[in-house]
Amino acid sequence: MSIHKDRIRAVLKGEKTDRLPVSFWRHFYDKESTAQGLADAMLAFQKKYDWDFMKVNPRASYHIEGWGAKTHYPEDSLSGAKVIEHPVKKTRDWEKIKKLTMSNRAFAEQLEALRLIKGKLKDELFIVETIFSPLSVVGDLVKEEQDLVNDLREKPELIHKALEVICEVFSSFADECLNSGADGIFFATTEWATKNTLTEDEYLEFGKPYDLKLLRQVESAELNILHICKSNNFLPLFADYPVKAVNWNSTDSTNLNLKEGAQILNKAVLGGIDHKNLMLKGTKDEVSSKVKELMELSKDIRLIVGPGCIIPPETPEENLQAVKEALEVFR
């Protein structure tokens, strides 16, 4: 038996549990260039805070390295890997996006990290691997977001062709993640499911069909989580996605709050903690007060406590501990 898994399962079913489940996730930038380094960083973070599920948090560039992206790795823990050369420089370069196999170094590295993590944790808690949506991957192949926006509006047939290839590749990768020890995927839309970048109609054409195709490939996984990034997001568009929980920045005033979102989605929701301000700059008492507020809210919704997005590496340890302590006090 696993108390961590039991808490998650209870919330997903709308049943009572001893306390609300919780997890946070962050980058360990100087550890992410090898499978062993990533696995060690994830396991150490878990050992320190005893979260109820683990989001494996790899370097973001792993999604595009197989297509020729060149990456510079930092030597410190506060600076992320930088893509210094993007595969798509001109519109015609979309035609060069071809299918990759799982022997690709970046994919093989992630799968090995999952095997290492699973080997240590066994069935102690759910493990989910971070996978970007096909549109997000396409967006990272170019240097500027506007480059993709221009191409999908002017040459949609090229973008659809690239999306089909990438969707097929990452559907296979998602399958292999489950085979390597993951209990599901953490599926992120990054910059694309927001009116800051696209219209709703454009997301329905270039985003949603490929999202659904990939997610249906791993629909049987026990814990698939959808993460909808950024302000002004398109949350209502995701009500029919085959996932168990949805995460977004509900403390952003341009987005729906947790209760509003839960009513629309009719799913468990993950979040409620302001990762940019409260966790980074708030006091332990302020963090505890927010947790108590979420405990009250959980009477009306199925809630897993967590951040609205990845927490900054410099987030004070005492604030992370304060979340856990408050959940125990108010259980």
Residue-wise pLDDT for 151-185, tens only, equals: 999 999 999 999 999 999 999 999 999 999 999 99
Residue-wise pLDDT for 269-300, tens only, equals: 999 999 999 999 999 999 999 999 999 999 99
**Whole-number pLDDT of residue 77:** 77
**Whole-number pLDDT of residue 104:** 96
Contact 159, 138 (CB under 8 A): yes
Residue-wise pLDDT for 195-210, tens only, equals: 999 999 999 999 999 9
**Whole-number pLDDT of residue 1:** 76
Query: In the block, which residue shows the tokens 């069909």?
Result: 209
Name the token pair of 155: 């040459």
- Residues 327 and 304: their CA atoms lie apart, in Å, by 11
Q: Does domain 3-329 have CATH number 3.30.460.80?
A: no
- Residues 7 and 9: their CA atoms lie apart, in Å, by 6
**Whole-number pLDDT of residue 202:** 98
- Residues 122 and 107: their CA atoms lie apart, in Å, by 22
Which helix (H) or strand (E) segment holds residue 83: the answer is strand 82-85
Separation of CA 230 from chain center: 12
Q: Cα(first)–Cα(last) distance of the chain, in Å? A: 20
pTM for the whole thing? 0.97
Average pLDDT across the chain, whole number: 97
Contact 4, 53 (CB under 8 A): yes
- Residues 284 and 272: their CA atoms lie apart, in Å, by 16
**Whole-number pLDDT of residue 161:** 98
**Whole-number pLDDT of residue 194:** 98
Give residue 128's pLDDT band: very low, low, confident or very high (50, 70, 90): very high
The rounded percent of the chain whose pLDDT value lies above 90 is 95
Contact 116, 46 (CB under 8 A): no
What value, to the nearest 5°, has the Cα angle with vertex 43 and ends 37 and 45?
100
User: CA torsion sign, 136 to 139 to 144 to 145?
Assistant: negative
Q: Which amino acid is at 119?
A: G
Q: HSE (CB half, 13 Å, CA atoms) of 32?
A: 24
- Residues 213 and 225: their CA atoms lie apart, in Å, by 15
Mean pLDDT of the region 300-315: 97
What value, to the nearest 5°, has the Cα angle with vertex 188 and ends 185 and 189?
145
**Residue 92 carries which DSSP code?**
G
Q: Strand, coil or helix: what is 1?
A: coil
**Whole-number pLDDT of residue 79:** 81
- Residues 311 and 293: their CA atoms lie apart, in Å, by 20
Give residue 19's pLDDT band: very low, low, confident or very high (50, 70, 90): very high
330 pLDDT higher than 90: no
- Residues 223 and 221: their CA atoms lie apart, in Å, by 6
Residue-wise pLDDT for 129-151, tens only, equals: 999 999 999 999 999 999 999 99
**Whole-number pLDDT of residue 88:** 98
38 pLDDT higher than 90: yes
What value, to the nearest 5°, has the Cα angle with vertex 223 and ends 7 and 273?
65
Nearest CA among 230, 191, 238 for reference residue 212: 238
Q: Where are the domains of the chain?
A: 3-329
Per DSSP bridges, beta strands 126-132 and 82-85 are unpaired
Residue-wise pLDDT for 229-243, tens only, equals: 999 999 999 999 999
Residue-wise pLDDT for 60-104, tens only, equals: 999 999 999 999 887 777 888 889 999 999 999 999 999 999 999
**Whole-number pLDDT of residue 93:** 98
- Residues 76 and 14: their CA atoms lie apart, in Å, by 42
